[in-house]
Structures are given as C-alpha cells and as structure tokens.
Amino acid sequence: MMLGRLVILALIFIIVGIVLVTYLLPLLRRPEIIECPKCHSRMVWTPIGTRSENFMWRCLACNSTWLKSYSEDSYKKWKEYSMIVVVRDAVLNYIRSHHSDAAKRMPEKFEWKYEKKMVEGETLHLFTHTDKGIWTVSIRRLPEHDFNVRVEYRPRGEITIPERILWVGIFDNLGVIVELEYYHVH
C-alpha cells in the first residue's frame, strides 16, 4: 500500500519534472542579445578575422570594452544581420560628427530600404532612405575583413541647384573608420 503510493508520487514528480524541463528551459535559453553591457547600445564590434573575434568586444557608442564569447548561434546571427547595420550606423555617426553640412541634411531617424546586390561577383549591401533628399549607403566587403563604405546624398527634385554629398571611406576589421574622400558639391 505504502509502496504503491510512493511509486505514484515518484511518477508524478518525474512527469512534472519532464514538463518543466521541456517547456521552461527553452524560455531560459533565449538567444543572447549582443549589446554593450554598459549603455546597451547594439553598436558593438569585435575584431573580425583575428583570434579575438567573438571574444574581445568594443562599444562604438560609449567606447567601453568587455570580454565575452557569445554562443555560436548568437554570433552567427550577429554576423549575418547586425554586422552590416553596425558598419552603416557607425559611419553615419562619424559623418554626423565630422561634417556639419552633411549632418544638417540628415533626418532625425533614417528609414532604410535594404537591397543586396551582386556586382562583379561581389556582394554589395545597399541602403536607401528617401525624404527631402535621398541618402544611399553602399557597403562592400573587402578582403582582410575590411569594409568599403560609400555614402551619398542628393536632394530630390532640385534639378537647378545640383547639390551632392559624397563620403567614401573604410571601416576596418577593428572597427576603425578611415575617411578617404569627402565632397560637398554646391
């Protein structure tokens, strides 16, 4: 009698245990968000192509650094979707803080249209924002894990006053931005 009850109790514990493990564990194992532990910005970088990749991290917003190896799954997702966005936004921030004439023409918030193009066997990431003017950011991956970035602005419908901004530069694998060209044609 006693033994029978114990067996039933043990069975209940096992069933409850299995249910908890199958339903609750996946909730706890949600993909990690790769972000700055200090300011929570997602504009973070790791030295791609070096031994410190997915280990040494630097926040491009507040410049703090930390050491962490994110799970393979999270890191793969970051590299596939977030990396290009980080390059784009870091370059736009650079332009905003170095060229007030360009900053004046930037919207408060960009609404990007994204397109992936193949040009001469290379992948080109193309972002376009259109309002009073058209901003385009094209990012091409170079060997050695650097990125060639080209940012262009042209006003819409002002055919008589051609005004164009062009910025060309490199975003390197360590997250350093090097400006190569800047034109503002009035």
Nearer to Zn ion by Cβ, of 6 and 62: the residue is 62
Write the DSSP assignment of 107-149 as a string of letters: -SS---EEEEEEETTEEEEEEEEESSEEEEEEEEEPGGG-EEE
Nearer to Zn ion by Cβ, of 57 and 171: the residue is 57
Interface region with Zn ion, contact rule CB under 5 A, candidates 31-39, 102-110, 115-123, 147-155: 31-39
Among 19, 62, 103, 119, indicate the residue that binds Zn ion (CB under 5 A): 62
Cβ at position 60, least distance to Zn ion in Å: 8
Cβ at position 175, least distance to Zn ion in Å: 13
User: Contacts with Zn ion in 80-109 (CB under 5 A)?
Assistant: none
> Does residue 43 touch Zn ion according to CB under 5 A?
no
Nearer to Zn ion by Cβ, of 20 and 176: the residue is 176
For 129-166, b/e burial (b = at least 16 CB within 10 A) is beeebebbbbbbbeeeebbbbbbbbbeeeeeeeeeebe
Residue 97 CB contacts under 8 Å (≥ 6 apart), including other chains:
103
Among 34, 48, 61, 86, indicate the residue that binds Zn ion (CB under 5 A): 61
Cβ at position 94, least distance to Zn ion in Å: 16
Sign of the Cα torsion 87, 89, 90, 96 reads: positive
Sign of the Cα torsion 41, 47, 51, 56 reads: negative
Distance CA(47)–CA(171), nearest Å, equals 12
User: Contacts with Zn ion in 122-181 (CB under 5 A)?
Assistant: none
Nearer to Zn ion by Cβ, of 20 and 62: the residue is 62
Q: In the complex, which residues of this chain contact Zn ion (CB under 5 A)?
A: 36, 38-39, 41, 59, 61-62
